[in-house]
Amino acid sequence: MSNDTVSKPGVTVLASKISKIYVEEISSKVNAIKNIRPNGPLLVGFLANDDPAAEMYASWTKKTSEDMGFRYELRRIDEKDFLEEAIIETNRDRQVDGIMVYYPVFGNAQDQYLQQVVAKEKDVEGMNHVYYQNMYHNIRYLDSENTIKSILPCTPLAIVKILEYLKVYNSLLPQGNRLYGKKCVVVNRSEIVGRPLAALLANDGAIVYSVDVDNVQKFTRGEGLKFKKHHVEDLGGFSADLLKQCCSEADVIVTGVPSESYKFPTEFIKEGAVCINFSSNKNFDESVKSKASLYVPMTGKVTISMLLRNMLRLIENSEKSKNP
């Protein structure tokens, strides 16, 4: 063991490495449906902004999809106002199996409207309201006969898969309780990623501190509730002190702050914590490596694997609906 290993014991784990474990599974499934999709399933991505991060994400999606036997088509929309109609046309196009949109488009609540325009049968990102609502309530199927599986929103799902890879999920514990005893901090409470992620982790047994600019909430599994649903408690308005206190025992810190200037305070990180950033901005600076045991600087490539898995499940659902 070198001195360097002892003084900087932390390891950086790249999303590209984690996503590799899904290559075989996904490719072989694509191969198995060659009878119904001889040219490979078709994913359409809509890009209506000039965000370089979205552009990069689009090129990764293309490469990953094509590597695994999918077809990928990027459709650029110059006038944002035309995107809705383009999505509606694609919803109806039988040649297309999956649709994704590179957000932000309008960068405000109108984006939440757009998410619901994508037909849930082609919504590979799992952003339809029905998928979120099922996720919050641990409902696994879309139909009452339990044959059509619900899917999970792909970024929160990717972070769960990353935590499994990093062995934060302990496979010796029973399924559904594998984060028992773990404390997590999630800095972001968007409806897209932060709030669903906090709920997913709480439902797996963790205590989760969900942090946004306004306040801090504590998510736990709500055993006593009528529905299988996490419990949320307000801990108070946001302050650096409160964040520091939540972090003092946190085994996991997940950040998703969409700001170039934001940096998570390294001094708040507990020695040996696992740190994951899902923002397209680097929310941790280099000093994170002096504190974190495992550090995942970006998550996009795992997210792409998850959306390709979702797409395969949607195709399976669509075949089941045709031949019940």
Helix (H, G, I), strand (E, B) or coil at 130: helix
Show the binding pattern over residues 198-227: x = contacts a copy of itself (CB under 8 A), - = does not: ----------------x----------xxx
- Select 182 or 189, whichever has its Cβ closest to a copy of itself: 189
Which is it for strands 71-76 and 42-47: parallel, antiparallel or unpaired? parallel
Q: Are 207 and 182 in contact (CB under 8 A)?
A: yes
- Select 231 or 320, whichever has its Cβ closest to a copy of itself: 231
Question: Binding residue for a copy of itself (CB under 8 A) from 28, 31, 95, 133?
Answer: 133
Q: Whole-number minimum distance, CB 112 to a copy of itself, in Å? A: 5
- Residue 73 binds a copy of itself (CB under 8 A): no
- Cα(95)–Cα(41) distance, integer angstroms: 9
- Dihedral of the alpha carbons of 300, 22, 254, 104, in degrees to the nearest 10: 30
184 is catalytic: no
Q: Whole-number minimum distance, CB 309 to a copy of itself, in Å? A: 24
CB atoms within 10 A of CB 171: 9
Please state at what angle helix 129-136 crosses helix 194-203, rounded to 10 degrees: 30
Q: Whole-number minimum distance, CB 14 to a copy of itself, in Å? A: 31
Find the largest Cα–Cα distance for the chain.
63
- Residue 117 binds a copy of itself (CB under 8 A): yes
State the DSSP H helix or E strand holding residue 52, giving kind and residue range, or none if neither.
helix 52-67
Segment near a copy of itself (CB under 8 A); pick from 46-54, 62-70, 187-195, 203-211: 187-195
Binding site for a copy of itself (CB under 8 A): 81, 84-85, 88-89, 108-110, 112-113, 116-117, 129, 132-133, 136-137, 190-191, 195, 214, 225-227, 229, 231-232
Positions marked catalytic: 154
